[in-house]
């Protein structure tokens, strides 16, 4: 007897879908190069940062201001987005390049990351005694996060990102204050940065340049979520990226802060760091590419400058949320500058 098929489940296609390629793309080789996005910022200029969702509210209330808002908005950082978590944060770096009218494929991808913190909470009784807080980090791409569909099981790249994130956060949390306790940081990448421009040969698959931007975003959003959870830390940690890029005009290498892989012809080397602003310390360094000793020092210095920009946004967001959570003192409860005593009747 043949096995009955499950009619209640609709299985997804086994492989991803690709965008259609028209004849114009094949007949005109220079057509793809015209669609390549170009970096309009200076090499040491970061993308403009917005620390709240007020821009989106303005777009909803005033549709005629849509173009103005989209050109000025770059990064959105918001905390306390998951009520059930101890702390949470959301980071978004939208596409700053205007969409092309001749193709439906966006020139560059966006970066959208969420982070949630569960804990600190006591470990199971069967767990061995730990004098410090046990930190667990998990980084997972959504299946639709990249151009090539991701699997539901964590792959090697996601495990590497989790290890780098754990290293960046371990030097920040004061673990001695929570013995035999654990905290879990779960980071979900809703949309990841591509490794290269989609029109390039091979699409830059396997180069891994986009993972550096993803790691810097994970460090920033995880640091904001930990601060939102009220966990004692030595400082706030933020992420930054710097890279040596090579242009087609002169062929020389230029140090670019906050790079977008799709906007550059070739990336020689790149570096992502986790940086503590007040202590002037680096908790994590991920260097990739062919760079010498002097170039490595320049990359780390540039990445720390990019991380300082993210730190300024985190500071403003946390201070704003702190002001919302702290209620003003009731003036009616004071008499003559002293707090009024309220009589409470005790019933047995």
**pLDDT of 343 strictly over 80:** no
76 CB-side CA count, 13 A? 22
Looking at the chain, the number of H-run helices and the number of E-run strands are 7, 12
If DSSP codes are grouped into helix, strand and coil, which group holds residue 338?
A: strand
Task: Identify the pLDDT of residue 310.
Answer: 87
> Per DSSP, what are the bridge partners of residue 136?
184
- How high is the pLDDT of residue 181? 93
Bridge partners for 87 per DSSP: 117
At 97, the pLDDT band (50, 70, 90 cuts) reads low
Whether residue 208 has a cis bond before it, omega within 30° of 0: no
Other CB atoms within a 10 A radius of the CB of residue 274 amount to 31
Encode pLDDT of 268-310 as tens digits.
899 999 999 999 999 999 998 887 777 888 899 999 999 998 8
CA dist 195 and 304 (Å) reads 22
* pTM, two decimal places: 0.77
Helices (H), 9-136: 23-27, 30-35, 54-61, 66-72
Average confidence (pLDDT) over 251-267? 81
pLDDT tens digit string along 122-165?
998 888 888 999 999 999 999 988 888 888 888 899 999 999 99
Could you give the angle at which helices 156-170 and 209-229 cross, rounded to 10 degrees? 40
Sheet of strand 281-289, all strands in order from the earlier edge strand to the far edge: 253-257, 237-246, 266-276, 281-289
Closest CA to 306 of 75, 18, 100, 99: 75
């Amino acid at each position: 007897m043949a096995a009955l098929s499950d009619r209640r489940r609709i299985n997804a296609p086994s492989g991803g879908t690709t965008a259609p390629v028209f004849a114009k793309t094949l007949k005109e080789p220079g057509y793809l190069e015209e669609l390549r996005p170009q970096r309009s910022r200076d090499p040491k200029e970061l993308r403009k940062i917005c620390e709240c969702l007020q821009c989106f509210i303005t777009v909803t209330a005033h549709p005629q201001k849509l173009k103005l808002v989209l050109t000025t908005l770059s990064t959105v950082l918001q905390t306390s987005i998951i009520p059930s978590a101890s702390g949470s944060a959301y980071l978004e770096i939208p596409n700053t390049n205007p969409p092309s009218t001749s193709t439906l494929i966006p020139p560059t991808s966006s970066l959208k990351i969420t982070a949630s913190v569960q804990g600190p909470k006591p470990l199971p009784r069967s767990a061995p005694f730990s004098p410090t807080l046990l930190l667990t980090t998990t980084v997972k791409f959504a299946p639709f996060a990249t151009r090539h569909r991701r699997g539901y099981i964590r792959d090697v790249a996601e495990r590497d990102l989790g290890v780098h994130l754990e290293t960046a956060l371990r030097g920040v949390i004061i673990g001695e204050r929570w013995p035999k306790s654990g905290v879990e940081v779960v980071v979900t990448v809703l949309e990841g940065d591509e490794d290269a421009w989609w029109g390039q040969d091979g699409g830059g698959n396997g180069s891994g340049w986009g993972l550096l931007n993803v790691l810097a975003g994970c460090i920033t959003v995880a640091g904001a979520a930990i601060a939102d959870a009220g966990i004692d830390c030595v400082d706030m940690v933020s992420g930054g990226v710097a890279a040596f890029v090579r242009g087609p005009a002169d062929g020389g290498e230029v140090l670019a802060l906050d790079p977008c892989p799709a906007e550059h012809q070739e990336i020689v080397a790149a570096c992502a760091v986790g940086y503590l602003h007040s202590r002037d310390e680096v908790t994590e360094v991920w260097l990739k590419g062919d760079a010498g000793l002097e170039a490595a020092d320049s990359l780390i210095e540039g990445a720390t400058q990019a991380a300082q920009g993210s730190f300024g946004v985190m500071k403003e967001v946390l201070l704003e949320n702190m002001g919302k959570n702290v209620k003003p003192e009731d003036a009616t409860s004071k008499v003559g500058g002293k707090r009024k005593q309220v009589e409470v009747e005790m019933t047995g």
